[in-house]
Amino acid sequence: MTFPDATGQPCDCLIDCPRFLTAYAIPAFSPNPSAAARRDSDDYGRYISSVAWQTSPARLAELRAAGHRCRLCFASGTETRLEVHHRTYRNFRCELAEDLTTLCHDCHLHVTCMERARKYARSPVLPPNYVPVASPPPLFDYRLALEIA
């Protein structure tokens, strides 16, 4: 199963991630993304490639605090491409430096895959032919009786 990574490139959790992460990757039934999910993804992509994000004070402060090195493997910005990972989206577009972590491209892929694996591990695995059935309406509506009394 592939998902777009932080840069929009396909990320296959079972191939791109280190072997120890694959233990957490549980295949889940994933319907086509909703229009809202696609819109959010497009909005995120536009923001990450925007000048506002590239010149964000919080992003630049995190890069300086990390010494322009990956926080996991300590690769420098001269050795590899550095990216700033959102640890939380609570302050999306108004990020604080503590919401962000500097990672190299490879570590960013691995962290993103691990987070997705954790997210999907909590999702129920449904059979491919699963059709949700709405519960039937109640046989009696007691609200009217309560309103009259």
Rounded to an integer, what distance in angstroms lies between the CA atom of residue 1 and that of residue 33?
14
The backbone torsions φ and ψ at residue 62, rounded to the nearest 5 degrees and listed phi first, read -65, -40
Lowest mean pLDDT among 33-47, 81-95, 102-116: 33-47
What's the pTM value of the predicted model, to 2 decimals?
0.60
Across the range 67-79, mean pLDDT stands at 94
Say if residues 95 and 56 touch (Cβ distance below 8 Å): yes
Q: How would DSSP label each residue in 89-109?
A: -TTTTS--GGGEEEEEHHHHH
Across the range 56-67, mean pLDDT stands at 96
Residue 113 clears pLDDT 60, i.e. is over it? yes
Residue 70 clears pLDDT 80, i.e. is over it? yes
User: 88 versus 131: which is more confidently predicted?
Assistant: 88
Secondary structure in 3-state letters for 27-75: CCCCCCCCHHHHHHHHHHHHHHCCHHHHCCHHHHHHHHHCCCECCCCCC
Say if residues 85 and 111 touch (Cβ distance below 8 Å): yes
